[in-house]
Structure 1
Amino acid sequence: MAKQSASKTDDLKRRQEAPLITPTDLKPKATRDIAGGMNAILADVFALYLKTKNFHWHMSGPHFRDYHLLLDEQADQLYAMTDPIAERIRKVGGATLRSIGQIARMQRVKDNDAEYVDPLDMLAELREDNKMLAARLREVHDVCDVHRDIATASLIENWIDETERRTWFLFEAGRRG
């Protein structure tokens, strides 16, 4: 019985010490570059998701219903990106974000903690954030191309399209008169 207990302890210790290595044919540099780029994207997507929800929750004015629903739809799209991004990072052999603190350190989307933001300013700010996200997705796509990571590049292409659609809707919804 003591032998079996020691064996279980040894197995547990080995599992705790073993790094999270996912088998991949990508080279270690490719894993580092792709995981690093995608983790930055993931941090930006989480930050943009929360900012979009913030503006959704604090929307006001004569177009409240339309803007409120638009931002809710866009927040859902952003949130839907998070798990596939994180899982892709793991599939290529990387480790993904582990905390809100790590997101805060990595995000490039600026927070907006203002007590009041004009509805059209909300739309304009989110439009610019989405434009920036599309540009950063293109940068990571280039990294994927260099390392021949077709699967990640393919996902990114869809996210660029979705991000450009959000940008377009925010632009059209925010046009003055």
Structure 2
Amino acid sequence: MADAPAPALDTPTDLDAKNTETAADALNGVLADLFALYLKTKNFHWHMSGPHFRDYHLLLDEQADQIFAITDDVAERMRKLGNLTLRSIGDISRRQTIRDNDQEFVEPLAMLKELRDDNLEVVRHFREAREKCEDAGDTPTSSMIDDWIDQAERRAWFLFEAARTN
């Protein structure tokens, strides 16, 4: 569960605090995964090599920018409902389910496939969070999540197509 906000951070809302805490907890998990996916995408962007370097390098940079842009919207949505959000790299590390990749070298197609699978995992977590938001009566967040799911599915599709060998 999310920590109870300090009185100074207790943003007013007409939604039930217990339900929004459940939704915020799920969203904090997705937010941690977004930060992990962002950093992994940038890592692969920085370490891309091979004959398709330019195309893959630019694709991953575009995707990283999109992922990072979502993070602020997710965090601000939780704060609007009176909940707390991530506070540190340690907090991210404790909550993330996207696995880091610290290998010194990863084949370009393996990078694309790993990121494709990670984006699909983010989709799964967004769907779970959306259910909790809907249970809390938080339709604005649920609607925003629909857009974030669409973006992640698009990223996964582009990565799938870029990694095809036939």
Shorter-normalised TM-score: what interval?
A: over 0.9
Q: Which residue of 2 aligns with 1:134?
A: 123
How far 1:34 sits from its partner (Å)?
1.1
Which ranges in structure 1 are unaligned for 5 or more consecutive residues?
1-16
Give the alignment partner of residue 21 of structure 1, picking from 3, 6, 10.
10
Distance across 1 between alignment mates of 2:140 and 2:40: 29
How far 1:19 sits from its partner (Å)?
4.2
Task: Among all aligned residue pairs of Structure 1 and Structure 2, give the percentage whose two residues are the same amino acid.
Answer: 60
1:45 matched to 2:38:
no
Q: Which residue of 1 aligns with 2:19?
A: 30
Distance across 2 between alignment mates of 1:31 and 1:147: 6
Q: Give, as a single letter, the amino acid of the residue that structure 2 aligns with 1:41.
A: V
Tell whether the 8 Å contact from 2:20 to 2:133 is kept in structure 1 after alignment: no
Distance across 2 between alignment mates of 1:95 and 1:143: 16
1:174 matched to 2:163:
yes
Tell whether the 8 Å contact from 2:115 to 2:159 is kept in structure 1 after alignment: yes
Pick which of 65-74 and 142-151 moved more: 142-151
- Secondary structure in structure 2 of the residue aligned to 1:25: coil
Distance across 1 between alignment mates of 2:18 and 2:130: 16
- Secondary structure in structure 1 of the residue aligned to 2:9: coil
Give the alignment partner of residue 56 of structure 2, picking from 53, 60, 67.
67
1:9-58 residue CA offsets vs partner (Å, 9 max, x unmatched): xxxxxxxx734100011112112111101111110000000000000000
Say which structure, 1 or 2, has more relative contact order (CA 8 Å, 6+ apart): 2
Segments of 4+ moved more than 3 angstroms: none
1:67-122 residue CA offsets vs partner (Å, 9 max, x unmatched): 00000000000000011100001011100100011001110100000000000000
Distance across 2 between alignment mates of 1:28 and 1:89: 11
- State the structure with more CA Rg: 1
- Secondary structure in structure 2 of the residue aligned to 1:141: helix
Q: Give the alignment's Cα RMSD to 1 decimal.
A: 0.9
1:155 matched to 2:153:
no
TM, length-normalised to structure 2: 0.95
1:165 matched to 2:154:
yes
1:115 matched to 2:104:
yes
TM, length-normalised to structure 1: 0.89
Distance across 1 between alignment mates of 2:158 and 2:56: 10
How far 1:144 sits from its partner (Å)?
1.2
Q: Give, as a single letter, the amino acid of the residue that structure 2 aligns with 1:64.
A: F
